[in-house]
Structure 1
Amino acid sequence: MSGTVVHAGWMNGYGNVVIVNHGEISTLYAHNSKLLVSVGQQVQGGQQISVVGSTGWSTGPHIHFEVRDSRGEKMDPTSYYIY
């Protein structure tokens, strides 16, 4: 899913975070060890935007994934998974 990077940096609790605005929704990827994109950059579905890590309030390497609506409210992310 293509979009524009609106945040690429540190966020309390989440550690290194990338937030991508897709128009109707935004996606958040947290606890990254390395960010591969910058604010304002256009990204495409399938493009690597970060490297998994354990930054922020994390007990081990993983990606914390959120989907938020246009008001910033968290949504159920399961319909956005690609298996």
Structure 2
Amino acid sequence: MTDRAVDTRGHAVAVGDRIRILDITPDPDMDEDELEMVRFMIGSECEVDRIDEGGLVWVSMWWSCGDGTATSCAGLSSGQFERV
């Protein structure tokens, strides 16, 4: 795992930084409910959870659902987010 990545504007980003999600590439195996939650993440601001060896920035969001809570996680490449 690495501790730094670069956003769409070339700014350094680290674990704990706040970013805005600009785009997400959904997993082709997602069902419609998961896909809807992931698409809703675009434009949202959240904290960087981790940065993997490939430089993907991982974020997660929690959702309140009718039967409890759900979480969505996404790995973002540098063109898919900006530091705020």
Report the TM-score, using the length of structure 1 for normalisation.
Answer: 0.28
TM-score, scaled relative to structure 2: 0.28
Larger Rg: 2
Bigger relative contact order (CA 8 A; separation at least 6):
2
User: More helix per residue: 1 or 2?
Assistant: 2
